Amino acid sequence: MKPRIAVVGGGWAGLAAAVAAVQRGAQVSLFEMAPTLGGRARSTAPKHPGAPALDNGQHILIGAYSATLDLMRTVGVDPEQVLLRRPLSLVNAHGQGLRLPQGPALIALTRGVLSHPAWTGPERLALLARSGVWALRGFRCDPRLSVAELCRGMAPALRRDLIDPLCVAALNTPADQASAEVFLRVLRDALFSGPGAADLLLPKAPLAELLPHPAQRWLEQHGATITLGQRVEALGALSTADAPGADGIILACSALEAARLTQDIAPTWSREAAAFGYEPIVTVNLQAHGLDGRPLNLAAPMVQLPEHTEAQPNPAQFVFDQGQIQGQPGRFSFVISGAAPWVERGQAATLAAIQAQAEALWPGARLAVESYVAEKRATFRCTPGLHRPAARPDPRLSPRLVVAGDYIEGPYPATLEGAVRSGQAAAHALV
């Protein structure tokens, strides 16, 4: 008889867990409290017919996300069709900055750094030397270090143009608060795990079409049941009423919900899961047209914006040209990572500052804000020495309970790849 597995939560971790459990021969029942699958990487239905589906936030994948890309293929999605692949580039609105050419990572990095137009010769050499030292140390460091401490002594231009934007984009935590250990791990995977690992993969399709909808179809075709709009209130109720006699439970809900559901059976674990700090991400989508009505564009699909200063508030670190990415000319997504201060200032102040950033990009343009999405708990704050809960809350008392999610102990910051890997690991542990 097939083992029966209940999966709580239909984000990317829950979907990865469900697919992996089915592949291992389990009968899967998945419960999602929202009306749609996808969790923190989801699309909502268009506001009116013909309007684009609205994602809850711009997502970037990289070539090193091997588990995620394989999972997409398993459920019938060709990543090359739904993702725009470009060699890593961190360029400004004039198209100037770091551009990694194609080819083996080390050579590409060296060539990219040596041809950076804004860095002096000594700055370029210092960066290569520093990267060499990190590589020689196996991209490991004292876990108590912050990224700012790791990069102490580095030229301000290197911090401003490379380290700080990369850190806040990858860890959603400012460099002075972010874990150097996790940052180095991301660098290692992106830059040193084979050709194409550092490539940026930008969604050409709504997030729902990257995984949630195809995974739903695949799971249903393979006999799994998916119940939407049902919040699991208690684990006891789950194993008796909704999935009678489940042989195993994979908790793939948020850390706070997992903490609530386990507070009686694994109180220590539950306290750890409840203890995270969170960092918001704000995405502002707007339309930008010239005075002649023609849609505007940018020098690259993803453009780095000038740094934020007190004198010149620049909330968004990056802007994405959806004309180049999703075939929607004139539509742009401004992304504020590490957005706590802006969420505090409020929507009106944030929108005004974003409009000012857009006006600086396209003086005199006609701008129309389309949407403002603030995900208050977008990711956990990835700080030095952060203790992340293990996948098994209590192996002795509840051997058939495994937890999955981007926050579970692991090498990655809160990412799609971390979520997918932890979901797959949970299924492998149970089935």
111 binds ligand FAD (CB under 6 A): no
Q: Which is nearer to ligand FAD, 149 or 375 (CB)?
A: 375
Tokens of 308: 């934020």
Q: How far is the CB of 312 from ligand FAD (least distance, A)?
A: 24
> Other C-beta atoms within 10 Å of 327: how many?
10
Cα–Cα distance, 175 to 308 (Å, whole number): 13
252 binds ligand FAD (CB under 6 A): yes
165 binds ligand FAD (CB under 6 A): no
381 binds ligand FAD (CB under 6 A): no
Stretch that binds ligand FAD, among 12-20, 293-301, 347-355, 381-389 (CB under 6 A): 12-20
253 binds ligand FAD (CB under 6 A): yes
Q: Please, are residues 289 and 361 in contact by the beta-carbon 8 Å criterion? A: no
Quote the longest CA-to-CA distance of the chain: 69
Q: Where in 14-43 is the site for ligand FAD (CB under 6 A)?
A: 14, 31-34, 39-41
11 binds ligand FAD (CB under 6 A): yes
DSSP 176-234: TTSBHHHHHHHHHHHHSSSTTTT-EEEESS-HHHHTHHHHHHHHHHTT-EEEES-----
9 binds ligand FAD (CB under 6 A): yes
Tokens of 344: 């505090």
69 binds ligand FAD (CB under 6 A): no
DSSP 333-355: EEEESS-HHHHHH-HHHHHHHHH
Q: Where in 394-423 is the site for ligand FAD (CB under 6 A)?
A: 405-406, 414-416, 419
Query: How many of the chain's residues bind ligand FAD (CB under 6 A)?
Result: 35
Q: Which is nearer to ligand FAD, 56 or 119 (CB)?
A: 56
Q: Which is nearer to ligand FAD, 285 or 379 (CB)?
A: 379
Q: What is the dihedral of CA 24, 26, 29, 35, to 10 degrees?
A: 20
Tokens of 390: 């293990």
Output the CA torsion sign for 267, 177, 108, 304.
positive
Q: Tell me which residues touch ligand FAD (CB under 6 A).
A: 8-14, 31-34, 39-41, 56-57, 59-60, 231-232, 252-254, 257, 281, 283, 375, 378-379, 405-406, 414-416, 419
